[in-house]
Amino acid sequence: MSEKRDAIEVADQKLQRGDGGEYHQIAGGDGEVLTTNQGVPVSDDQNSLRIGPRGPLAMEDFHFREKLFHFDHERIPERVVHARGMGAHGYFETYESLADVTRADLFQRKGEKTEVFARFSTVAGNKGSADIARDVRGFAVKFYTREGNWDLVGNNIPVFFIQDALKFPDLVHAAKQEPDRGFPQAQTAHDTFWDFISLTPESINMALWIMSDRTIPRSLRFMEGFGVHTFRLVDAEGKSTFVKFHWKPKSGMQSVVWNEALKINGADPDYHRRDLWDAIQMGDYPEWEMGLQLFDEAFAEQFDFDVLDPTKIIPEEVLPIRRVGRMVLDRVVDNFFAETEQVAFCTQNVVPGIDFTDDPLLQGRNFSYLDTQLKRLGSPNFHKIPVNSPRGCPFANFQQDGHMRMQVPKGRALYQPNSFGGPREAPRTGFRTYPAEVSGQKLRMRPESFADHYSQARQFYRSQTEVEQNHIVSAFTFELSKVETVAIRERMVAHLLTVDEDLGTKVAAGLRLKSLPNAAPPAVEPRTDLARSPALSILLNGPRSFAGRKVGALVTDGVDAEILAALKTALEKEGAMLKLVAPMVGGVEASDGTWLEADEKIDGGPSVLFDAVAILPSEAGCAQLVDEATARDFVADAFAHLKFIAYSPAAEPLLRKAGILEALDEACIALDSSSDAQPFVEACRKLRHWPRETAVKQV
């Protein structure tokens, strides 16, 4: 007892103010004094104030109470949707002046850089859910322009489930955990989701998109983004042009395969967050080009569908995309909560030169986003949280008070007109709503022009490669197999038959439906003559390089130092990375006696975390690995997930034990000497060896 007290007293003394007036610190500090929120220096942060050494705590311990009080209130409500996300800072650079179509300040000058904050998210999962859930990804960008903040709050899919914001709560309730049981988490493979979808034909086009590989992106860096709605650009003369916004990833698109996604979620639930963080920290800055599809009323008239209907796209082949700038994310956040959690995107945040259309979904969103921020952030002054504050532009108005008011307004009058001064409207340069003509009766109805739900779904399906079509069939089969109510499975198949007979029949067979249901009757006859749009395929638009990707090399003591070095050099030349996976994280001794630290121990670095693998044990090392289940899985999974595999001759026993030695194909490349490294890396540019897929029965 007395020994313990002594120790405490020694610690106490360490925190005492020294004779010179300085505060001594416990190891690890940087000389700054720990204080309460009131700025009072704290002498002891290890022990609360108590009555006697073993007695009760004293209420007067203001440091204890303040610290616990603050901790108790650390959580804010997570976003009702898009709770799980990852944000980063960066800039947008304008390629050329867009004064011909918009007066938006950020688009006026070639080379202009505007600060941005981007947040990517899944939709259905709660904040702590895994990153590679099959789900739409949010793609939200806040531009801090010189004329205020513009938020482009988009997704990685260009269409949406519903046509009217009134249905959003229903959609989300159906997708989230079922209310009685509180599961499943972060997945749509359950009854209520498919019940809603099958009863809501307008969602069928989106259903096709979410069952494609778009919803299991390899990383946030390798996906497209879309503004979804038709917006307006307005020029200095007040002329309006319709616009659809696109983001094209510089590194091309890439997705994982479904079996891999399931395993990644176990191996690294933060896979996407970590990837974005690592890429930025390494200086491999993620980049997207912004593209615009610009058109006028007359152009819009030529379509059977309505450009105000957010379940439709205008194919790029029909209306080419004009690339107008690039977004580069070059800075991770300093604090996740302060920035990524507190960022408040609002679709209503537009700037002069950008305006809304009457898309009913967009109109509804303009209410919802502002409303939700109050709930989440708790104060109408959320715009003053640094990540939300406009920057680089003047800011002044007469709004006052409210919870958590941060700035101190000066002057006598917080109203206008007034006789005391303060800001005034800018009739000429301020935001002016585009004076669109509107008239009509008040009605609750959908226009005829929103009635075709199947033509574009078919066009999407038909525009995929065979591999991708197979994945869509597999995804529907997987999800509907998780649906317990047979009638819902049948109802979905009925819709799929209306979309495309081949698709519906294959899914029905995958589900082993006893009989094929009748195709769902469409409200208007679908078009079957829409031209394929290759831009809708991921595989037809993949990268031509392996840059930004990772090879996991399985190594043991005695790994051939020369071959490994050649592989590393070839990968670095390509802009890709080599990660070492070893029996123990401390590392291995290479053939030349050098010590190589490992990045992962085998069971912490399964092959699902890499884009390609190299199996490079020594003979002795391999003899040990063949008995390790994780090593066999490393190899077998890489093969099953259609990855490019490099292997040393010594690895053959492991390949045999993993069951792939007899099945090796041209994407399995022997690294007999260091000159084989470069051709392997070049082969990796294809990312996956799709012809293997039927062989391994992935589909």
- Chain residues that interact with ligand HDE, rule: CB under 6 A: 79-82, 85, 119, 121, 138, 140, 153-155, 160, 165, 168, 228, 310, 343, 345, 361, 364-365, 368-369, 372
The residue among 99 and 172 lying less far from ligand HDE, judged by its C-beta, is: 172
Give the separation between CA 12 and CA 16, rounded to whole angstroms.
6
In sequence order, which residues have a C-beta less than 8 Å from that of residue 292 and are 6 or more positions away? 233, 243, 244, 245, 246, 321, 322, 324
Pairing relationship of beta strands 231-234 and 240-249 according to DSSP bridges:
antiparallel
User: Distance between the two ends of the chain, CA-based, in angstroms?
Assistant: 67
Instruction: Quote the least distance from Cβ 136 to ligand HDE, whole Å.
Output: 8
Contact 608, 637 (CB under 8 A): yes
What letter represents residue 278's amino acid? D
Nearer Cβ to ligand HDE (81/503): 81
Cβ at position 110, least distance to ligand HDE in Å:
28
- When the beta carbons of 119 and 506 are compared against ligand HDE, the nearer one is 119
Contacts 24+ apart (CB under 8 A), 65-72: 66/36, 66/37, 70/37
Helix ranges (H only) for 306-399 are 360-377
- Could you count the other beta carbons within 10 Å of the beta carbon of residue 22? 10
Task: Please state, in angstroms and rounded to a whole number, the distance separating the CA atoms of residues 264 and 278.
Answer: 17
The letter for the amino acid at 619 is E
Query: Which of 597, 571, 557 is CA-nearest to residue 671?
Result: 571
Give me the residues paired with residue 616 across strands.
Answer: 555
What are the φ and ψ backbone dihedral angles of 580, each rounded to 5 degrees?
Answer: -95, 130
b/e code 407-440 from CB counts within 10 Å (16+ = b): eeeeeeeeeeeeeeebeeeeeeeeeeeeeeeeee
Separation of alpha carbons 444 and 210, rounded Å = 29
Question: CB atoms < 10 A from the CB of 399, how many?
Answer: 11
Dist CA 601 CA 584 (whole Å): 5
Cα–Cα distance for residue pair 654/660, rounded to 1 Å = 9
Burial level of 554, CB count in 10 A (0-12/13-18/19+)?
A: buried
Minimum CB–partner distance for residue 439 and ligand HDE (Å)? 24
| Closest approach of ligand HDE to the CB of residue 150, in Å | 14
**Closer residue to ligand HDE (CB): 364 or 587:** 364
Nearest CB to ligand HDE, comparing residues 126 and 470:
126
Least Cβ distance, residue 368 to ligand HDE (angstroms): 4
Q: For ligand HDE, give the closer residue by CB, 355 or 490.
A: 355
Closest CB to ligand HDE among residues 226, 476: 226
Residue nearest to ligand HDE (CB): 138
Instruction: Please say which residue, 79 or 218, places its beta carbon nearer to ligand HDE.
Output: 79
Contact between 278 and 472 under an 8 Å Cβ cutoff? The reply is: no
Phi and psi at 331, nearest 5°, equal: -150, 125
Smallest distance from ligand HDE to CB 359, Å: 9
Min dist. Cβ of residue 316 to ligand HDE (A) = 18
HSE, side-chain direction, 13 A CA sphere, residue 196: 21
Task: Decide: 579 and 552 in contact? Cβ < 8 Å.
Answer: yes
| Min separation Cβ 579 and ligand HDE, Å | 30
**CB of 119 vs ligand HDE, minimal distance in Å:** 4
* Residue with smaller CB distance to ligand HDE, 360 or 542: 360
Which residues are designated catalytic?
82, 155
Give the CB-side neighbour count of residue 108, counting CA atoms within 13 A. 12
- Residue 107 C-beta: closest distance to ligand HDE, Å: 20
Q: How far is the CB of 209 from ligand HDE (least distance, A)?
A: 12
Amino acid letter, 518: N
DSSP string, 525-558: PPPS-PPP-GGG-SGGG--SS-TT-EEEEEE-TT
Considering the complex, state which of residue 387 and residue 640 has its C-beta at the smaller distance from ligand HDE. Answer: 387
Given the complex with ligand HDE, which of 160 and 680 has the nearer CB atom? Answer: 160
CA 570 vs. chain centroid, Å, equals 30
